[in-house]
């Protein structure tokens, strides 16, 4: 369990260092799935839209200038 916590801190640190605002998304994801009955349709649509945005960023990503 300690290893998982340390891994979580390391991941969050790396993501924060990249300047990518993914942490609020992860918190929302967890909150929505933790509530009784899981996410509502509206919440699921919100999460899906955020994931779609991240997927689009990945597909559009290009190497930095040489």
What character string, x for contact with another protein (CB under 8 A) and - otherwise, covers 11-30? xxxxxx-x-x-xxxxxx-xx
53 scored as a contact of another protein (CB under 8 A): no
SS3 label, residue 59 = helix
For the bound state, the minimum distance from the C-beta of residue 31 to another protein, rounded and expressed in Å, comes to 10
Q: Would residue 64 be called left, alpha or beta, if left means φ above 0 and alpha means ψ between -120 and 50 degrees?
A: beta
Contact at 8 Å (CB) between 22 and 54?
A: yes
45 scored as a contact of another protein (CB under 8 A): no
Interacting residues toward another protein by CB under 8 A: 1, 3-5, 7-16, 18, 20, 22-27, 29-30, 33-34, 38, 48, 51, 54-55, 57-59, 61-66
């Amino acid at each position: 369990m300690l290893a998982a916590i340390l891994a979580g801190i390391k991941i969050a640190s790396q993501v924060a260092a990249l300047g990518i605002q993914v942490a609020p998304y992860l918190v929302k994801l967890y909150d929505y799935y933790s509530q009784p009955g899981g996410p509502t349709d509206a919440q699921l649509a919100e999460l899906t839209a955020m994931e779609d945005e991240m997927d689009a960023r990945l597909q559009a990503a290009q190497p930095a200038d040489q």
